[in-house]
Structures are given as structure tokens and as C-alpha cells.
Amino acid sequence: MREKVKDIDFRSADHVVQEIRDMNVKGGSPFGRAAAWALKLATQKEKLNTKRELRTRYKDLKKQMLTLKPTMGTIHNSCNIIEEVYEENKNEDLKVIKEKVIKVCDNIIDNSYAAIDKMAEVGANLIKDGSTIMMHSYTSTLMAIFIKAAEQGKKFTVICTESRPLRESRKAVHYLQEWDEKIIYITDAEAYEFMPKADFILVGADSLASNGSIANKMGTAMLAALAKLCKKPFYVAAELYKYNPLTKKGVPIELERRTENEIISKGDFKSHKNLTVINQFFDVTPASDITGLICEYGLINSSNIDFYWNELVKKLKEA
């Protein structure tokens, strides 16, 4: 049995925030679990002796995590669900509130792992022996799919775009080498040249919108448009927990921008006169360019996300 991708062993709520700041948490699902861990550890370990202190700490952690990673729908959801649990039980004793919060955090973490297991089965069924798959960036969900396919004895090739500027795909290469699968590692700019060799394209997502569009690492939308041009299926693998309910009210997904120092070096230009350097870290892929969404409910049309959301929240809040 090949080893699954593990989360960081978090020691405290502040440790969670630091790991997010240091970019050691990677992938939308791990971010959602990390947020749940932050709220759980704060509830369990910190001296929060009044309801007001507890509520204030939840707000503080939410602000810190979303300031660092505003695009992550899973962080929004972990924080919002715990805030709802607090409000629904604010007339209870502090001990009871804490117990319910801890239970719901555990539900969020456990459900995320279970969702990844289900997505791994669905995604692995799309991979045939001898398949070639193009992937972009890194997510634990994609790794779970590849692990499952490899456990089924399938031999396949993964065309791995490097995913600049941080080149997260290097981590995917590391795992694929451990599983003895073939890898073709290319620059993002080589995607059009190599896409005809792929049977389909597989990416993750960091946030899902009610209209079926998805936010993911910069370059995803370009790959989806190319896939349509090349008549290649374009699949997104993401648990429903990445859904951003605010998009149903017309609120757009906030797309993170990062420091220019990740894409330029000192001395690249003689001066910065009239120069604006933009390091846009995420983009939005429209539903019309997505063949199907691989989630814990199976392979669905990405525009049907909202249908399952209320059922999922109800399940998570059963404490």
C-alpha cells in the first residue's frame, strides 16, 4: 500500500497560521483542514475563559488566515461554519460550546479525508493503463487519484507543468517518482506543444463558484481554453467543501496576488520607471471550459455544486 499524502502535525493555532504564512500548507483541502485544526487547537489549548474571548479568538484566526490566503474557499467555510455553530449555541455553557466546536472541527477534518478517498476512486477510474494525463500545480487530491490508479496496477504518464512562480509541481514529481510512474516535466509555456499527447487534463481547485466556474493556480484557465481548442477533456478534482456560498449572491471569488519578488530578481531591469509588475497567483476557469467535476458525489457537472451544499453543511454540523 502506497503512503497517502499527510498533513502537517500542527501544535497550536499560531503554528497553523505560521505554516500557512510559510507556504508549507499546499492544496485547497489541506487549507480547510488546517483552518479546522487552528480553531480546534485554540478551543482546546488556549485560556479562553469567556464566550467573548472565544468568539474574539475565532474572528482573529479567521482574519489572519484569510489575509494570507483569501482565495481558499475551504478556509472561508471552516471559519464560517464554526462561527455559525457558536451563534447557534451561544446561550449554552462555555464548556458545551467548546465541545460542539471541537466535534464539528473533527467532522470537517474527517469528512475532508473521506471526500478525498471517494474522489480518488472516481478519478482513478478515468485513468486507463497506458494513459497520459496533463496536470497543473499541486493538490493532495490529484496525488490521491494517482496513488489509487497506481494501486490498481495501472502504468501511466503524467505531463507535469511546473506551475510558476513557485513551481509547486515539483512536489508532484517527487510523489510520482516514488510510485514509479513516468513523468514529463515541462514549463507552463510548453503546454500547447505537449497537450496533444495527453488523453485528458486534470487539475485541482481552490474555490468553487455557484455558476460552475473554479478558481485555481494561475495558468489553469489558459490550460482549459487550450484543452477546448485541442478537443481534450478537462477535469477538475475538488471536494464540495471548496464551494464559496457567497458566489450565489454575486460576490466574486477574491484572487490572491503575491509579491513581485517571486517573479523578478534584482537587476532584471535598469529601472522600474513606468513599470508595473503583477504576480497574479490564481485565475478563474469558466464552467463552459470544464468537462466535469470530480467530487465526493461522483463525476458531476460543475454547475450543480449548489445542489449538494446544504446537505454537506448539515452533515458537518451534526455534533
Catalytic positions are 206
Please report how many Cα atoms fall inside a 13 Å half-sphere around the Cα of residue 301, on the Cβ side.
Answer: 5
d(CA 229, CA 196): 10
Extract long-range pairs of 162-165: CB within 8 Å, 24+ residues apart: 162/186, 162/187, 162/188, 163/136, 163/137, 163/138, 163/188, 163/217, 163/219, 164/188, 164/219, 164/263, 165/258, 165/262, 165/263, 165/279
Report the first-to-last Cα separation within the chain, whole angstroms: 33
Answer for the pair 282, 215: CB distance below 8 angstroms, yes or no. Answer: yes
Specify the DSSP class assigned to residue 135: E
d(CA 176, CA 136): 14
CA 148 to chain centroid: 19
> Ramachandran region of residue 231, left (φ > 0), alpha (ψ -120 to 50) or beta?
left
d(CA 112, CA 124): 18
Which of 94, 28, 60 shows the shortest CA–CA distance to 295? 28
Answer for the pair 124, 148: CB distance below 8 angstroms, yes or no. Answer: yes
**Coil, strand, or helix at residue 59?**
helix
In which element (H, E) is residue 300 found? strand 298-300
